[in-house]
């Protein structure tokens, strides 16, 4: 039973059905139908937990292009199961939330079609075993997220944010594809599982490290790692349900998933360890540092998301050292970092999803997300305030919430890294816990800003668009469920750890026992606890004295950031494109022909020479008869005379000489039917030329300078030489036995006395049918245009 493949296809099938269902349900909200899809998928994946927690791996495959090793193979292990549950579980909550969030003026069918398209693409990413299939779904997530971010396309910022995210993530995707092809070139397989099994013997291959860095390029761009993080804040122009789904729980986690999935392939090397760890730590710090100065609540959450993604990325980097040590105490010690990464990935989805929904409620009920206009909302939105406190304090890593547990594990991993006896960590390893602690201080500060500057203080009702009141109960259900999970995972973390985190960990670092710990909240008065207490003290002081040190953000010049660099790069590309376009789009048809033929000469001629395919053998050719030589001379004289013709009539007649001479060639070669066809076509073409050229302006040969004529003559001669060389090379290089002998038996095979008619009517019947179909479709198009022009069609009022 292809249950996993069906799970990927269900969202796509539902997407196709949305327009049909929307027309028939009347006033019934289409969101309730859409909600059934992620709920059903969530239940399907929930049912797989017992098997996966027992160490099983579910694999299903459908042959696609087996000749080159591309099959639709999906497999479910602990890692992909966690991702699938996040995709479908958060998808269910987001769809429920969106039913109450979106206004009646929004296009529901478009929104939910894009959302389901994204959901199916994400499931394809996390379940695919084939590298190329994974890449197809990977880019589909970029396209569908582009549509979701630009959902309010009438807003300039929405279009800008969607374009920015698409360009950056697709750029990384192209690099990732190149890395995948390099892996296939090394290992001979597109299977991720098979690659991980054999890649150990290719670590000295010249393509190993280029493939590694190209795969990381795709992961870093998708998960908004520094310096590619700039797309995520602008993507916040999307509707809040989109932000809660794509930018906290799913799309940005795709890059983390990719790093985790490829750790068995590239992990254990210093390059993998340092690249991921350094990029993750820089992203962690920079995201937290930038989040503090934001005045828009969604922008604050955007930078906090960047920071939290950096935290998880750095943990994956630190944990990859476990593959260097293998099974044993040290391997298990550093495997804890990957366990912490998986745990925090789940926790981040819960508290960040809840916080995005809180911001959506504030914006929906108050009319603004600007912190400078907010304050005192606790008295008006007490339930929303409760959700904000739970989500923010969990993100800050405070006790009694799930974020505290995974943040403590993060500190443990960073402290352990100092004693790592490989990769030169003993020299620079001390910076890892220092950066981790400093970034966590800023995390505490922006969490306090989110809570206290939004919900405490004096209300500023005059600055608000509407009087704040709690939303309907339906809008509160999703964040309430997430907050219950935030608290529940603190008190029962091993329910998650034993059944999901441990199988996922073993899928990343197989063969390392003891790496999955028993999660507990109290470990005594250790270094990690003192780091947390220091964060609370220092963070509180920084929050209370924020106005005193805020000027530190003014040190950075306004134009010194990657967004300015991105914008200037786009402008430079636009200017270059305009310059190129204005120079080749001259509006002069001969110039266009010159470009086409020059490219043809360079491409075809270069291929002939560089590949060594040029080979001419005339020994087996038939001799040229006198009549054939005469015809060749006539055609050559006619062709050479056309550029020197003084009138269009002369040029048309000379062109006709070429066509009719070809018909005579067919007669000489005993193909009267082809000769007749050529005569008819040439006659009709000549007549059409005469009719059309009658409406053109007067022929002026003096318009072209001598230099242009010489240029055109050189191009024409070169193109003719290339075509001749290609024809002679093809005729001389017979790789296979001619198929003419097969068609000589046309009477026995097809019952036709005329071999040409037999080929067209029987051997190429399907091709001929398609040609007829094309003509039929073209005829329908012409008929439709005629009907519209005369005002008889449905578009009468629009033309």
Confidence of residue 701 (pLDDT cuts 50, 70, 90): low
Radius of gyration of the chain (CA): 34
Q: What is the mean pLDDT of residues 138-145?
A: 96
372 CA to centre of own chain: 36
Mark whether 592 and 526 lie in a shared domain: no
Residues contacting 425, CB < 8 A, separation 6+: 417, 418, 432
Both tokens of 44, joined, read: 């399907």
Residue 207: inside a domain: no
Confidence of residue 231 (pLDDT cuts 50, 70, 90): very high
Mean pLDDT of the chain: 88
Task: Answer whether residue 505 shows pLDDT above 80.
Answer: yes
| Length in residues, the chain | 799
Concatenating the DSSP letter of every residue in 283-324 gives HHHHHHHHHHT--BHHHHHHHHHHHHHHHHHHHHHHHTTHHH
Residue appearing with tokens 């006659």: 683
Concatenating the DSSP letter of every residue in 95-151 gives HHHHHHHS-TTS-HHHHHHHHHHHHHHHHHHHHB-BHHHHHHHHHHHHHHHHHHHTS
Confidence of residue 465 (pLDDT cuts 50, 70, 90): confident
Give me the domain span that covers residue 690: 584-765
Mark whether 550 and 592 lie in a shared domain: no
Q: Determine the 3-state secondary structure of 70 from DSSP.
A: strand
Which of 339-348, 550-559, 566-575 is the least confident region?
550-559
The kind and range of the H/E element at 347 are helix 329-366
Confidence of residue 628 (pLDDT cuts 50, 70, 90): confident
**How far is residue 112's CA from residue 30's CA, in Å, rounded to a whole number?**
8
End-to-end CA distance of the chain: 53
Provide the β-strand partners of residue 191.
130
Angle between helices 208-222 and 131-149 (to 10 degrees): 20
pLDDT of 356 reads 96
Domain final residue, candidates 511, 529, 561: 561
> 229-251: b or e for each residue (b if 16 or more CB lie within 10 Å)?
bbbbbbbbbbbbbbbbbbbbbbb
Q: What is the mean pLDDT of residues 619-628?
A: 80
Confidence of residue 627 (pLDDT cuts 50, 70, 90): confident
Mark whether 296 and 445 lie in a shared domain: yes
694 CA to centre of own chain: 52
Mark whether 375 and 510 lie in a shared domain: yes
Span 273-303, pLDDT tens digits: 999 999 999 999 999 999 999 999 999 999 9
Residue 272, exposed/middle/buried by CB under 10 A (0-12, 13-18, 19+)?
buried
Q: What is the mean pLDDT of residues 580-594?
A: 85
**How far is residue 94's CA from residue 116's CA, in Å, rounded to a whole number?**
12
Span 297-353, pLDDT tens digits: 999 999 999 999 999 999 999 999 888 877 777 777 788 899 999 999 999 999 999
Mark whether 508 and 613 lie in a shared domain: no
How many beta carbons lie within 10 A of that of residue 342, not counting itself? 30
Ramachandran sector of residue 306 (left: φ over 0; alpha: ψ -120 to 50; beta: rest): alpha
Residue 165: inside a domain: yes
Mark whether 92 and 160 lie in a shared domain: yes
pLDDT of 213 reads 97
Concatenating the DSSP letter of every residue in 543-573 gives HHTHHHHGGGGGSS-TT-SHHHHHHHHHHHH
Mark whether 593 and 535 lie in a shared domain: no
Q: Determine the 3-state secondary structure of 62 from DSSP.
A: strand
Residue 367: inside a domain: yes
Task: Answer whether residue 743 shows pLDDT above 80.
Answer: no
Helix, strand, coil percentages (3-state) for the chain, rounded to 5, are 75, 5, 20
The kind and range of the H/E element at 416 are helix 402-417
Mark whether 422 and 311 lie in a shared domain: yes
Q: What is the mean pLDDT of residues 667-672?
A: 84
Main-chain phi, psi angles of 369, to 5 degrees: -115, 5
pLDDT of 514 reads 63
Task: Answer whether residue 796 shows pLDDT above 60.
Answer: no
Both tokens of 391, joined, read: 């989500």
Residue 53, exposed/middle/buried by CB under 10 A (0-12, 13-18, 19+)?
middle
Residue 12, exposed/middle/buried by CB under 10 A (0-12, 13-18, 19+)?
middle
Are the C-beta atoms of 355 and 386 separated by less than 8 Å?
no
Residue 781: inside a domain: no
* Parallel, antiparallel or unpaired: strands 58-65 and 70-76: antiparallel
Residue 314: inside a domain: yes
Task: Answer whether residue 736 shows pLDDT above 80.
Answer: no
Mark whether 555 and 590 lie in a shared domain: no
This prediction has a pTM of 0.82
The kind and range of the H/E element at 37 are helix 30-46
Q: What is the mean pLDDT of residues 401-423?
A: 89
Both tokens of 249, joined, read: 């729980």
Task: Answer whether residue 439 shows pLDDT above 80.
Answer: yes
DSSP class of residue 45 equals: H
Confidence of residue 699 (pLDDT cuts 50, 70, 90): low
pLDDT of 480 reads 97
Both tokens of 427, joined, read: 């020299």
> Considering its fold, how many domains does the chain have in total?
3
Q: What is the mean pLDDT of residues 474-487?
A: 96
Provide the β-strand partners of residue 378.
none
How many beta carbons lie within 10 A of that of residue 452, not counting itself? 14
Confidence of residue 791 (pLDDT cuts 50, 70, 90): low
Provide the β-strand partners of residue 528.
none
Mark whether 592 and 486 lie in a shared domain: no
Both tokens of 396, joined, read: 């800050």
Q: What is the mean pLDDT of residues 133-157?
A: 94
How many beta carbons lie within 10 A of that of residue 350, not counting itself? 30
Residue appearing with tokens 């009138």: 647
Task: Answer whether residue 746 shows pLDDT above 80.
Answer: no
Higher pLDDT, 623 or 266: 266
**How far is residue 219's CA from residue 253's CA, in Å, rounded to a whole number?**
9
**How far is residue 582's CA from residue 576's CA, in Å, rounded to a whole number?**
10
Residue 575: inside a domain: no
Which of 162-176, 579-593, 751-765 is the least confident region?
751-765
Sign of the C-alpha dihedral computed for residues 571, 576, 582 and 584 taken in this order: negative
Q: What is the mean pLDDT of residues 204-217?
A: 95
**How far is residue 303's CA from residue 289's CA, in Å, rounded to a whole number?**
8
Highest mean pLDDT among 69-73, 470-474, 639-643: 470-474
Residue 726, domain CATH: 1.20.120
Mark whether 470 and 548 lie in a shared domain: yes
How many beta carbons lie within 10 A of that of residue 150, not counting itself? 22
pLDDT of 799 reads 38
Which of 220-234, 311-325, 512-526, 589-603 is the least confident region?
512-526
**How far is residue 248's CA from residue 303's CA, in Å, rounded to a whole number?**
11
Residue 776: inside a domain: no
How many beta carbons lie within 10 A of that of residue 495, not counting itself? 12
Q: What is the mean pLDDT of residues 585-591?
A: 83
Residue 148: inside a domain: yes
The kind and range of the H/E element at 75 are strand 70-76
Mark whether 662 and 756 lie in a shared domain: yes
How many beta carbons lie within 10 A of that of residue 582, not counting itself? 9
């Amino acid at each position: 039973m292809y249950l996993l493949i069906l799970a990927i296809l269900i969202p796509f099938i539902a997407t196709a059905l949305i327009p049909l269902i929307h027309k028939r349900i009347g006033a019934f909200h289409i969101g309730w139908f859409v909600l059934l899809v992620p709920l059903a998928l969530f239940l399907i994946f929930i049912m797989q937990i017992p098997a996966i927690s027992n160490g099983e791996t579910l694999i299903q495959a459908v042959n696609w292009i087996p000749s080159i090793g591309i099959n639709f193979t999906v497999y479910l292990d602990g890692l992909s199961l966690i991702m699938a549950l996040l995709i479908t579980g958060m998808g269910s909550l987001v769809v429920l939330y969106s039913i109450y969030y979106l206004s009646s003026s929004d296009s529901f069918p478009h929104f939910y079609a894009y959302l389901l398209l994204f959901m199916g693409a994400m499931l394809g990413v996390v379940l695919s075993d084939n590298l190329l299939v994974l890449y197809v779904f990977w880019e589909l997530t970029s396209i569908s997220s582009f549509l979701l971010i630009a959902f309010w396309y009438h807003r300039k910022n929405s279009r800008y944010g969607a374009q920015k995210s698409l360009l950056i993530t697709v750029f990384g995707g192209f690099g990732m594809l190149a890395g995948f092809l390099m892996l296939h070139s090394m290992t001979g397989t597109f299977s991720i599982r098979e690659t991980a099994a054999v890649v150990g013997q290719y670590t000295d291959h010249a393509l190993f490290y280029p493939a590694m860095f190209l795969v990381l390029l795709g992961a870093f761009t998708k998960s908004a790692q520094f310096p590619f993080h700039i797309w995520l804040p602008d993507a916040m122009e999307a509707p809040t349900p989109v932000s809660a789904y794509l930018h906290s729980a799913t799309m940005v986690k795709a890059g983390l998933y990719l790093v985790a999935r490829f750790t068995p392939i590239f992990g254990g090397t210093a390059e993998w360890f340092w690249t991921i760890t350094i990029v993750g730590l820089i992203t962690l710090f920079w995201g937290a540092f930038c989040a503090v100065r934001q005045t828009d609540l969604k922008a604050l959450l955007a930078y906090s998301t960047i920071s939290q993604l950096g935290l998880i990325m750095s943990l994956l980097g630190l944990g990859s050292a476990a593959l260097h040590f293998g099974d044993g105490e040290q391997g298990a010690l550093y495997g804890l970092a990957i366990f912490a990464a998986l745990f925090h990935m789940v926790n981040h989805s819960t508290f960040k999803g809840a916080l995005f929904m809180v911001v959506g409620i504030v914006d929906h009920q108050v009319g603004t997300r600007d912190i400078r206009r907010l304050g005192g909302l606790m008295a008006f939105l007490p339930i929303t305030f409760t959700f904000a406190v739970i989500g923010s304090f969990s993100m800050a890593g405070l006790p009694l919430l799930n974020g505290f547990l995974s943040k403590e594990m993060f500190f443990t991993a960073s402290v352990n890294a100092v004693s790592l006896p490989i990769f030169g960590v003993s020299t620079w390893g001390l910076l890892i816990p220092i950066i981790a602690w400093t970034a966590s201080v800023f995390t505490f500060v922006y969490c306090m800003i989110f809570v206290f500057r939004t919900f405490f203080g004096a209300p500023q009702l005059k600055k608000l668009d509407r009087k704040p009141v709690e939303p309907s109960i339906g809008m509160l259900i999703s964040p309430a469920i997430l907050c219950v999970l935030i608290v529940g995972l603190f008190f029962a973390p091993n329910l998650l750890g034993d059944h999901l985190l441990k199988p996922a960990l073993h899928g990343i670092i197989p063969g390392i026992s003891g790496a999955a710990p028993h999660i507990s909240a109290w470990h005594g008065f250790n270094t990690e606890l003192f780091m947390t207490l220091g964060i609370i003290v220092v963070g509180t002081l920084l929050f209370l004295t924020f106005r005193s040190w805020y000027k530190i953000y003014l040190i950075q010049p306004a134009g010194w950031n990657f967004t300015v660099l991105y914008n200037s790069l786009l402008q430079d590309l636009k200017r270059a494109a305009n310059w190129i376009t204005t120079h080749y789009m001259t509006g002069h048809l001969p110039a266009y022909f010159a470009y086409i033929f020059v490219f043809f000469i360079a491409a075809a001629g270069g291929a002939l020479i560089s590949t060594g395919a040029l080979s001419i053998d005339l020994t087996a050719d038939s001799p040229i008869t006198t009549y054939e030589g005469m015809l060749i001379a006539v055609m050559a004289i006619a062709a050479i005379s056309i550029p020197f013709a003084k009138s269009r009539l002369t040029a048309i007649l000379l062109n006709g000489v070429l066509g009719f001479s070809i018909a005579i060639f067919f007669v000489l070669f005993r193909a009267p039917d082809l000769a007749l066809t050529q005569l008819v076509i040439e006659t009709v073409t000549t007549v059409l030329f005469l009719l059309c050229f009658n409406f053109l302006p007067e022929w002026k040969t003096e318009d072209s300078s001598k230099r242009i004529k010489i240029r055109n003559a050189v191009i024409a001669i070169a193109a003719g030489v290339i075509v001749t060389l290609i024809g002679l090379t093809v005729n001389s290089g017979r790789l296979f036995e001619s198929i003419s002998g097969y068609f000589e038996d046309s009477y026995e095979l097809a019952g036709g006395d005329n071999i040409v008619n037999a080929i067209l009517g029987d051997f190429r019947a399907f091709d001929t049918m398609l040609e007829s179909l094309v003509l039929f479709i073209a005829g329908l198009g012409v008929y439709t245009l005629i009907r519209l022009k005369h005002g008889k069609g449905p578009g009468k009022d629009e033309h």
